[in-house]
A and B are shown apart, each in its own frame.
Chain A
Amino acid sequence: MLATAIIVFREVLEAALVVGIVLAASKGVIDRLLWVGGGVFFGIAGACAVAVFAEVIAEAAAGIGQELLNASILFLAVAMLGWHNVWMGRHGRQLAQQAADLGKAVTRGTRPLYALAIVVGMAVLREGSELVLFLYSIAAGGSSGVADMAGGGILGLAAGVAVGGALYFGLLRIPTKHLFTVTSWLILLLAAGMASQAAAFLVQADILPALSPALWDTSAVLTEDSVPGKIMHALIGYVARPSGMQFVFWAGTLAVIGLLMCLTNRGTTVPRGGARRALGAVAVALMVLGMGFLTTVLVS
């Protein structure tokens, strides 16, 4: 049962961290639980559907159905995370001001909750479909069967939710004035990590070239299979041996969303003055670096 619990924990972890960040980013919005809960619900329903149709999906699109589905799920989440940050860049100042005036930030419908609900839904769908298949294979084939599935499933789920909860309550300790700046940065990194995962699926499908099988190797320091490695993978897109294409998508997403945040920012989400100019410069530098790298590899 413990072995089952550990695997369930690993699968739940990533989605739980995303939910933790989203809940912190929507702090103070009245109906956020409805939206986030709805995202989780539709994510689970979708995960079950994907698991049931696993065979159809595996055979779709000449055998690359799984890769295309996973990449689409991730790109949709990346787009919604980016949109959230651009929105916060435009309205974040008002929000922080309002929060300071009222002493608390209770607002209704003042944040793109649908975007965050889609992000949660996609994260749950992506991790959940594997989990459903795994639990099914335990129940159907394992010697200990259904009890193992239920016990391990609940234990693993509880542990995963606990880590997501710890992140959420940790974030809530940040004063409201700074909270949304922190969550916007976390969401930026989350988006970059998801884009890099999507790139890995497109490389696996042979739609994109890997450019380089491994730009560097830090598996001696931190493997992605370890729990800390998995947390870093979920939060900032850490990969011990990233392919060239993964890095291009990671840096590109960071640069594009970062730049959009700078261009649309009218508030405090992005620090103003020197820090803002520095962020803009870093974003442009990342873009140039990515394009340069891409050109070098494609030409050679």
Chain B
Amino acid sequence: MSRFARRHLRALEAYSRDELESLLITAASFKEISERNIKRVPTLRGKTVVSFFCEESTRTRVSFEIAAKRMSADFVSLSGAASSVKKGESLLDTTRNLDAMRPDIIILRHSSSGAAAFLAERVSCAIVNAGDGAHEHPTQALVDLLTISEHKPQLAGLTVAIVGDVIHSRVARSNLFALRTLGAQVRLVGPPTFLPPEASTWGEVHHDLREGVRDADVIMMLRVQLERQGRNFFPTIEEYARYFCLTEERVAAAKPDVIILHPGPMNRGVEIATDVADGPYSVIMNQVTNGIAVRMATMFLLVNRPSVEIELELEAARRSAAGEEVPA
């Protein structure tokens, strides 16, 4: 397995194929732990993980918490609403204070794009980006990639249609960057208000959902935030659904073995029809399950990797001192 040497998980844009694959392989190997009768391994015993969510979240925060606990980490959860950020303390000061308590990882969700990168340069612990504004949501994309890889022989060459509010979506960005690195063809589907002119540099742009998903291997739906209606990105939810709701009829244009993803939370009947969300092509619940393994792998690689390497080096040194043959 190739090495993963990053100190933080900030954004997938700069990740190489090797790095993405190490994350995915490690995640796949952790899946089995959650199927055991006793779902706990000592991998992160004695490590402290702080989740610091300055934005609402249910599934991501719970997913990180379960992942950390299944690896025996001490887990502390802090929400933005309860933190001193609410009292006017800056994000930087609050995070520095948390950092001074010597956690191993801070998991950050924040509404400002770049917040994770900003803090990563200013603290000593590892920062895991659990969503920064409209920028990236790397663990969600890793979840999606793991889920796709369980249904398709390889990611390279797949046609993936990403549908919906691309411009505001951190899930779209992380997926897009990683999918391109791994050799998939990406299509972007949605109204022009969600797809600025430069989006065409990212992939084929479609404003017709049926055409956008034609012969696709994977359809990745994005959540439409209902409040966009008030800002004139589309006239009404009803009209949005008329053109961009993924229905059985529209899915029929895709490949017969298409799979459908959604990062949640879903607006049933808006961007996705209920019978599609719950239908045979849907892998949405697999995504949620895979979330645990991906987050376990992420935390494991960030915290343990260096010491694993140091132990190997020490072992090699000991063997070499004892005149034993050092394995390559």
A and B interact: no
- B interface, CB within 8 angstroms of A: none
Which A residues form the contact surface with B (CB < 8 A)? none
